[in-house]
Copies of this chain bind each other. A is one copy, B any other.
Amino acid sequence: MKKILSLFLLLPLMLQAATVKSPNGNIALSFSVDEDGRPVYEMSYKGRPVVLPSHLGLELAQDKHASLGMQEHDLMYGFTVSKEETTTFDETWRPVWGETATIRNHYNELAVTLTQQWLQPMAAKPGEPRRAHRQYNRQMIIRFRVYDDGIGFRYEFPQQNDLNYFLIKEEMTEFAMAGDHTAWWLPGDYDTQEQETQQTKLSEIRGRMKQAVNWTNSSVAVFSPTGVQTSLQMKTDAIDIDGERRNLYINIHEAACADYATMHLELVDAETKALTTKLEGNSNVYTPAPTVGSAAALPKPFTFVSHLTPDATGLKGAMQTPCETPWRTVMVSDDARDMLSSNLILNLNEPCKLEDTSWIHPTKYCGVWWEMIVGKSSWNYTDEFPSIKLDQIDWTKVKPNGRHAANNEKVKRYIDFAAKNGLDEVLVEGWNVGWEDWANMWKRDVFDFVTPYPDFDLKMLNDYAHSKGVKLLMHHETSSSTQNYERHMEKAFQLMNKYGYDAVKTGYVGDIIPRGDHHYSQSMNNHYLYVVKEAAKHHIMVNAHEATRPTGLCRTYPNLVGNESARGTEYEAFGGSRPDHTCILPFTRLQGGPMDFTPGIFVTRLSEWSDNTSWARITIAGSLALYLTMYSPLQMAADLPEHYERFDDAFQFIRDVACDWDDSRYIEAEPADYITVARKAKGTSNWFIGGKCDENGHTAVVKLDFLDKGRKYDCTIYADAPDAHYEKNPQAYTITKKTVKAGQTLKIKEAPGGGFAISLMVR
Is A684 positioned at the interface, with any CB of B under 8 Å from its CB? Answer: no
- Extra 9 A-B pairs, beta carbons < 8 Å, given A164-B387, A167-B442, A320-B387: A64-B511, A160-B386, A164-B386, A312-B515, A312-B516, A318-B443, A318-B515, A514-B514, A516-B516
Is A88 positioned at the interface, with any CB of B under 8 Å from its CB? Answer: no
Q: Are B311 and A515 in contact (CB under 8 A)?
A: yes
Interface residue from B283, B321, B387, B444 paired with A321 (Cβ < 8 Å): B387
Q: Are A386 and B64 in contact (CB under 8 A)?
A: no
User: What distance in Å separates the Cβ of A309 from its nearest Cβ neighbour in chain B?
Assistant: 14
Is A486 positioned at the interface, with any CB of B under 8 Å from its CB? Answer: yes
Q: How far is the CA of A503 from the CA of B523 in the complex (A)?
A: 31
User: What distance in Å separates the Cβ of A494 from its nearest Cβ neighbour in chain B?
Assistant: 11
CB-defined interface of A434-456 with B at 8 Å, one 1/0 digit per residue?
00010111111000000000000
Interface residue from B320, B387, B440, B483 paired with A483 (Cβ < 8 Å): B483
Is A313 positioned at the interface, with any CB of B under 8 Å from its CB? Answer: yes
Q: Are A441 and B67 in contact (CB under 8 A)?
A: yes
CB-defined interface of A155-169 with B at 8 Å, one 1/0 digit per residue?
000011100110100
Which chain A residues numbered 446 to 505 have a C-beta less than 8 Å away from chain B? 483, 486-487, 490
Is A315 positioned at the interface, with any CB of B under 8 Å from its CB? Answer: yes
| Contact A442 B318, CB 8 Å, known A515-B311, A530-B487 | yes
Which chain A residues numbered 288 to 329 have a C-beta less than 8 Å away from chain B? 311-313, 315, 318, 320-321
Number of A interface residues at 8 Å Cβ cutoff, please give it.
42
Is A65 positioned at the interface, with any CB of B under 8 Å from its CB? Answer: yes
Q: Are B442 and A516 in contact (CB under 8 A)?
A: no
Is A389 positioned at the interface, with any CB of B under 8 Å from its CB? Answer: yes
User: What distance in Å separates the Cβ of A534 from its nearest Cβ neighbour in chain B?
Assistant: 9
Q: Are A159 and B386 in contact (CB under 8 A)?
A: yes
Which chain A residues numbered 384 to 406 have a C-beta less than 8 Å away from chain B? 385-387, 389
Q: How far is the CA of A442 from the CA of B517 in the complex (A)?
A: 16
Interface residue from B64, B160, B443, B515 paired with A283 (Cβ < 8 Å): B64
Question: Given the complex, which residues of B lie within 8 Å of A283, measured CB to CB?
Answer: 64
Q: Are A523 and B530 in contact (CB under 8 A)?
A: no
Which chain A residues numbered 511 to 532 have a C-beta less than 8 Å away from chain B? 511, 514-517, 523, 526, 530
Question: Given the complex, which residues of B lie within 8 Å of A164, measured CB to CB?
Answer: 386-387, 437, 441
| Contact A312 B442, CB 8 Å, known A164-B387, A386-B160 | no
| Contact A165 B442, CB 8 Å, known A514-B517, A515-B315 | yes
Is A279 positioned at the interface, with any CB of B under 8 Å from its CB? Answer: no
- Chain B residue at minimal CB-CB distance from A443: B320
Q: Are A441 and B515 in contact (CB under 8 A)?
A: no
- Chain B residue at minimal CB-CB distance from A487: B486
Q: How far is the CA of A64 from the CA of B280 in the complex (A)?
A: 13
Is A735 positioned at the interface, with any CB of B under 8 Å from its CB? Answer: no
Is A212 positioned at the interface, with any CB of B under 8 Å from its CB? Answer: no
- Chain B residue at minimal CB-CB distance from A441: B165
Is A762 positioned at the interface, with any CB of B under 8 Å from its CB? Answer: no
Q: How far is the CA of A64 from the CA of B220 in the complex (A)?
A: 10
User: What distance in Å separates the Cβ of A464 from its nearest Cβ neighbour in chain B?
Assistant: 32
Question: Given the complex, which residues of B lie within 8 Å of A523, measured CB to CB?
Answer: 444, 483, 514
- Chain B residue at minimal CB-CB distance from A392: B322
Interface residue from B165, B315, B514 paired with A443 (Cβ < 8 Å): B165
Question: Given the complex, which residues of B lie within 8 Å of A490, measured CB to CB?
Answer: 490
Q: Please give me the 4 A-B residue pairs with the lowest Cβ-Cβ distance, nearest first.
A: A312-B312, A318-B442, A312-B516, A313-B516
Is A340 positioned at the interface, with any CB of B under 8 Å from its CB? Answer: no
Is A702 positioned at the interface, with any CB of B under 8 Å from its CB? Answer: no
Q: How far is the CA of A313 from the CA of B311 in the complex (A)?
A: 11
Which chain A residues numbered 41 to 94 have a C-beta less than 8 Å away from chain B? 63-65, 67-68
Interface core residue of A160, A283, A311, A442 (most chain B CB under 10 Å): A442
- Chain B residue at minimal CB-CB distance from A259: B444
Question: Given the complex, which residues of B lie within 8 Å of A442, measured CB to CB?
Answer: 63, 65, 165, 167, 318
Supply 21 A–B pairs (Cβ within 8 Å), ascending by A: A64-B511, A65-B440, A65-B442, A65-B511, A67-B439, A160-B386, A161-B386, A164-B387, A164-B437, A165-B442, A311-B515, A312-B313, A312-B516, A313-B516, A315-B515, A320-B387, A320-B389, A444-B526, A514-B514, A514-B517, A516-B516
Q: How far is the CA of A444 from the CA of B530 in the complex (A)?
A: 13
Q: How far is the CA of A51 from the CA of B514 in the complex (A)?
A: 37
- Chain B residue at minimal CB-CB distance from A527: B483
Question: Given the complex, which residues of B lie within 8 Å of A311, measured CB to CB?
Answer: 514-516
Q: How far is the CA of A486 from the CA of B165 in the complex (A)?
A: 23
- Chain B residue at minimal CB-CB distance from A482: B483
Q: Are B313 and A67 in contact (CB under 8 A)?
A: no
- Chain B residue at minimal CB-CB distance from A388: B320
Question: Given the complex, which residues of B lie within 8 Å of A160, measured CB to CB?
Answer: 386
Question: Given the complex, which residues of B lie within 8 Å of A440, measured CB to CB?
Answer: 65, 67-68
User: What distance in Å separates the Cβ of A473 from its nearest Cβ neighbour in chain B?
Assistant: 25
Q: How far is the CA of A389 from the CA of B63 in the complex (A)?
A: 21
Question: Given the complex, which residues of B lie within 8 Å of A165, measured CB to CB?
Answer: 387, 437, 441-443
Q: How far is the CA of A161 from the CA of B490 in the complex (A)?
A: 35
